[in-house]
A and B are shown apart, each in its own frame.
Chain A
Amino acid sequence: MTDTTRTDTSSADDIPIAYVPDPPRMRESPEQLRARIPGWGADLDPADRPSHPKLRYAPDDTGAHWRFPERQPGAEQRERSIEHAFVTPVFGTAQPLHGLSGAIRRLAYRRYSEARLGHWALLVVGDRVDAWGSHLRSFASLHPDNPITETGILAELHADGTARSGRSDRRHQLLDPVVVAGPWVAAAAGAFLGGRRLLRRMR
């Protein structure tokens, strides 16, 4: 418990408190804080805090009416961490593995545990392959990717100019377009140069 009878912060002889044995002192008394702050001290007793103690054995309070859940069908082809004994009884079925990115991701899950950097590096590579494969496939569809609408950049046109000064990305504003648009520009330039070379060879 801190000494609440004094309200300054420095020690009696003005030596900073870190260098002397005095206890730190509150700037305001509990009464002052209670008057100023709604609910001050309502959870002062750790017993009132829902996360105390950290481990609280109460299996009957969760709503579960099973010891082990019934198994969801379809686990046979489902990738899993090799740190698991089996595919968990319930699992997500969104975006199943497919194509080259799926092969890379499956290798990450089959070959490496979560403890190995190779696991995560392969998953990141799989993400990039997935993204570029999807972009390319989209151009052969009725709904091609549109970097203007999909980046939400049009919001800049509606933004309140007076509020722009507080934006979080002003330090790296020049970098963001490079990161977002750079690969598209590079791919377009590569396609243009490749196409030109091909045309010249055909002539």
Chain B
Amino acid sequence: MRAMTYRGPYKLRVEEKDRPRIEHPNDAIVRVQLAAICGSDLHLYHGLMPDTRIGHTFGHEFIGVVDEIGSSVQHLQVGDRVMVPFNIFCGSCWFCARGLYSNCHNVNANATAVGGIYGYSHTTGGYDGGQAEYVRVPFADVGPVKIPEWMHDEDAVLLTDAAATGYFGAQLGEIAEGDTVVVLGAGPVGLIAAQSAWLMGAGRVIVVDHLVERLEKARTMAHAETLNYDELDDVVVELKKQTDYLGADVVIEAVGAESDGSCLQHIAGTKLKLQGGSPVALNWAIDGVRKGGTVSVVGAYGPIPAAVKFGDALNKGLTMRMNQTPVKRQWPRMFEHVRNGHLTPREMVTHRFPLEGISEAYHVFSAKLDGCIKPLILPSAS
């Protein structure tokens, strides 16, 4: 089969690989119909995630058709069209039994601090991902869901991570009616977080970024006010002014480990890798939220420490909530919101690439060329 393979930082190519096989009785093999590149894939691409091995196939956002099932699979049949949450989870460990599907203890031998994720290095379990023609899906009776007839494929693929993570991020904020919610980052996660904040009763939603086309999308798609930090001397001071010197009630950090906004942090964290990325957005969240407020973190960070202003978080009495998204837990309610038009994930899709063009797809997404917000990968078109 054809599959994207990692060749080292900033380098990847499409290679011929063996088609995955059933390795456990509850496995399924899924023929991928549509995949996406996630912003967090860029952390792998840039070499920030430890134990990312040469030859690894990325991709944790994908949908497809069940091509083969293991002997114990009861809920799926060959030919079913499924959407697959980015989490690999068993459904039966202490954590899964309590709804923490992203923290499953039975799927990642390499680490206890993170669950299993498709195509996201060996630190998250060493599973090849879905930017390929076929992918192994463990626990087929637990993770995948048949795609509803009414659902658009592009909505379905975005619900496997980016959209679910945005919705989850707003929930972590514990938004109350009338709250001022600041969303840092107008990428796919931030845009859905902004839409979701309204669903939870926000009184104001302010989205912060520096890419003009993304800020425009935040205004049109998420009905949000926007701040371009490139035009500001100090974004935290502006947030204080915007909120009558109180600070936001809730800040949702939807950027993660490669935040722009500080050249020094970028060089130290992202280029020289002297720390675990560049936590500029997280520090803005801590400083921009009001005392006693809540910071929700859904931007992706790796296991290597970074210079986070924890003292400010302590001294301000903040509540900080975060996790990888337990995706399947979000779906029944999210399906209603998508069907009703309250959440509009596919509105964010800007680019579609064949699998054979995936090197250029990563470069375009990484450099944000051509106003790229969300690129999709089409294996069957390659």
When the two chains form their complex, are residues B141 and A39 in contact, meaning their CB atoms are under 8 A apart?
Answer: no
A1-B177, A40-B198, A58-B97 known; A90-B106 Cβ under 8 A:
yes
- 7 A–B pairs (Cβ distance < 8 Å), ordered by A: A38-B340, A41-B201, A69-B139, A114-B112, A145-B7, A165-B212, A172-B263
When the two chains form their complex, are residues A70 and B368 in contact, meaning their CB atoms are under 8 A apart?
Answer: no
CB nearest neighbor in A for B124? A92
Residues of B within 8 A of A38 (CB): 340-342
- Complex Cα–Cα for A72 and B358 (A): 32
CB nearest neighbor in B for A164? B369
Residues of A within 8 A of B361 (CB): 152, 155
Residues of A within 8 A of B134 (CB): none
When the two chains form their complex, are residues A156 and B369 in contact, meaning their CB atoms are under 8 A apart?
Answer: yes
> With contacts A37-B198, A63-B91, A180-B9 known, what are 13 further pairs, Cβ within 8 A?
A24-B178, A55-B98, A58-B97, A95-B56, A120-B50, A123-B50, A127-B51, A134-B54, A154-B360, A155-B360, A164-B369, A166-B368, A179-B271
- Across the interface, B367 reaches (CB within 8 A) one of A4, A42, A145, A167, namely A167
Residues of A within 8 A of B203 (CB): 2, 26-28, 33
When the two chains form their complex, are residues B171 and A49 in contact, meaning their CB atoms are under 8 A apart?
Answer: yes
- Complex Cα–Cα for A133 and B54 (A): 10
B311 at the interface (CB under 8 A from A): no
Q: Identify the 8 closest CB pairs spanning chains A and B, nearest first.
A: A39-B342, A92-B126, A152-B363, A64-B91, A62-B91, A2-B178, A131-B8, A152-B359
- Across the interface, A155 reaches (CB within 8 A) one of B109, B112, B126, B369, namely B369
- Complex Cα–Cα for A151 and B364 (A): 10
Stretch among B60-68, B312-320, B330-338 lining the A interface: B330-338
A31 at the interface (CB under 8 A from B): no
- Complex Cα–Cα for A94 and B246 (A): 50
Give chain A nearest CB distance to B209 CB in angstroms: 10
Residues of B within 8 A of A64 (CB): 90-92, 96, 139, 141-142
Give chain B nearest CB distance to A134 CB in angstroms: 4
When the two chains form their complex, are residues B332 and A50 in contact, meaning their CB atoms are under 8 A apart?
Answer: yes
Q: Which of B26, B89, B266 neighbours the largest number of chain A CB atoms within 10 Å of its CB?
A: B26
Q: Which interface class (under 10, 10 to 19, 20 to 34, 35 or more) fits A? A: 35 or more
> Which secondary structure dominates where chain B touches chain A?
loop
- Complex Cα–Cα for A158 and B353 (A): 13
CB nearest neighbor in B for A64? B91
- Complex Cα–Cα for A56 and B74 (A): 25
- Complex Cα–Cα for A11 and B368 (A): 42
Give chain A nearest CB distance to B12 CB in angstroms: 6
When the two chains form their complex, are residues B211 and A166 in contact, meaning their CB atoms are under 8 A apart?
Answer: yes
A63-B142, A72-B23, A156-B369 known; A17-B245 Cβ under 8 A:
yes
When the two chains form their complex, are residues B54 and A95 in contact, meaning their CB atoms are under 8 A apart?
Answer: yes
Give chain B nearest CB distance to A187 CB in angstroms: 12
When the two chains form their complex, are residues A17 and B244 in contact, meaning their CB atoms are under 8 A apart?
Answer: yes
- Complex Cα–Cα for A132 and B128 (A): 21
Contact code string A43-61 (vs B, CB < 8 Å = 1, else 0): 1101011111011111100
A91-B109, A149-B13 known; A159-B364 Cβ under 8 A:
yes
When the two chains form their complex, are residues A90 and B107 in contact, meaning their CB atoms are under 8 A apart?
Answer: yes
When the two chains form their complex, are residues B260 and A70 in contact, meaning their CB atoms are under 8 A apart?
Answer: no
Q: Which of B25, B128, B369 neighbours the largest number of chain A CB atoms within 10 Å of its CB?
A: B369
Instruction: Tell me the A158-199 residues at the B interface (CB within 8 Å).
Output: 158-160, 163-169, 171-172, 175-176, 179-180
CB nearest neighbor in B for A53? B99
Instruction: Tell me the A59-110 residues at the B interface (CB within 8 Å).
Output: 59, 62-70, 72-75, 78-81, 83-84, 87-95, 101, 105, 109
Q: Which residues of B contact A (CB under 8 A)?
A: 7-13, 15, 23-26, 47, 50-57, 72, 74-75, 88-92, 96-101, 105-113, 116, 122-123, 125-128, 138-139, 141-142, 168, 171-172, 174, 176-178, 180, 196, 198-201, 203-204, 210-213, 223, 243-247, 249, 260, 263, 266-267, 271, 273, 290, 303-305, 326, 329-334, 337, 340-343, 358-364, 366-371
Residues of B within 8 A of A87 (CB): 109
CB nearest neighbor in A for B325? A51
Residues of A within 8 A of B210 (CB): 168
- Across the interface, B245 reaches (CB within 8 A) one of A1, A16, A37, A62, namely A16
Give chain A nearest CB distance to B146 CB in angstroms: 12
A18 at the interface (CB under 8 A from B): yes
Residues of B within 8 A of A134 (CB): 7-8, 54-55
Residues of A within 8 A of B362 (CB): 152
- Complex Cα–Cα for A199 and B141 (A): 64
- Complex Cα–Cα for A127 and B370 (A): 32
When the two chains form their complex, are residues A163 and B92 in contact, meaning their CB atoms are under 8 A apart?
Answer: no
- Across the interface, A55 reaches (CB within 8 A) one of B91, B99, B366, namely B99
- Complex Cα–Cα for A89 and B104 (A): 12
When the two chains form their complex, are residues A50 and B333 in contact, meaning their CB atoms are under 8 A apart?
Answer: yes
- Complex Cα–Cα for A56 and B302 (A): 27
Residues of B within 8 A of A48 (CB): 333
- Complex Cα–Cα for A37 and B223 (A): 7
Give chain B nearest CB distance to A137 CB in angstroms: 9
A51-B168, A123-B51 known; A169-B178 Cβ under 8 A:
no
- Complex Cα–Cα for A68 and B139 (A): 12
When the two chains form their complex, are residues A66 and B368 in contact, meaning their CB atoms are under 8 A apart?
Answer: no
Residues of A within 8 A of B223 (CB): 36-37
- Across the interface, A91 reaches (CB within 8 A) one of B107, B326, B366, namely B107
